[in-house]
């Protein structure tokens, strides 16, 4: 079987190595847009999330969560990498950088577990995230934001 594709970023199970990697990159690009409406469309109407210690259910709560996140996390830039996959699940690791209102910079590391419905919408997302304070000069993500990470900018496997 081959994955079903509907439009440039809708990739549905069953996943292959290529389609799973494409799904991860499409998610990275969407999150780097910092557009809660765009990102929320990748999830089922009743999608269930665990993000750190928060539990979010449904697109409306997802939109609100993301709007709040990007109001607090300034100059957000994210890279994701495929870790593993099965027919309808994908595991990713990620890293992002951002600063707070006071100008303190952070690098956030984590892992996500994703589960998809047959049409390629995510019905479940579990994220474990750790924040590490960094100095501004220690940042590693530099591209115009909001917007996708350029193809020639290092991703997770290429960064220390």
Query: What are residue 61's DSSP bridge partners?
Result: none
Average pLDDT over residues 136-154: 94
The residue segments making up the domain with residue 52 are: 4-158
Q: Is beta strand 43-51 parallel, antiparallel or unpaired with respect to 122-134?
A: parallel
C-alpha triplet 158, 137, 109: angle, nearest 5°: 45
Provide the number of structural domains found in the chain.
Answer: 1
Tell me if residue 95 falls in helix, strand or coil.
strand
Mean pLDDT confidence for 87-102: 98
Share of residues in the chain with pLDDT > 90 (%): 89
pLDDT recorded at residue 158: 73
Give residue 6's pLDDT: 38
Confidence of residue 160 (pLDDT cuts 50, 70, 90): low
Task: Establish whether the linkage from the previous residue to 125 is cis, with ω within 30° of 0.
Answer: no
Do the beta carbons of residue 57 and residue 45 sit within 8 Å?
no
Q: What is the CATH number of the domain that holds 128?
A: 3.10.450.50
């Amino acid at each position: 079987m081959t994955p079903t594709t509907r439009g440039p970023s809708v990739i549905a199970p069953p996943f292959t190595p290529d389609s799973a990697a494409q799904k991860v990159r499409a998610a990275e690009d969407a999150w780097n847009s910092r557009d809660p409406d765009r990102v929320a469309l990748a999830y089922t109407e009743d999608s269930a999330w665990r993000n750190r210690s928060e539990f979010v259910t449904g697109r409306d709560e997802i939109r609100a969560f993301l709007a709040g996140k990007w109001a607090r996390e300034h100059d957000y830039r994210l890279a994701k990498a495929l870790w593993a996959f099965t027919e309808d699940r994908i595991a990713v690791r990620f890293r992002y950088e951002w600063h707070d209102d006071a100008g303190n910079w952070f690098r956030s590391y984590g892992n996500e577990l994703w589960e998809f419905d047959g049409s390629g919408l995510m019905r479940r997302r579990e994220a474990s995230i750790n924040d590490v304070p960094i100095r501004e000069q220690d940042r590693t993500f530099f591209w115009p934001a909001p917007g996708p990470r350029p193809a020639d900018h290092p991703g997770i496997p290429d960064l220390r």
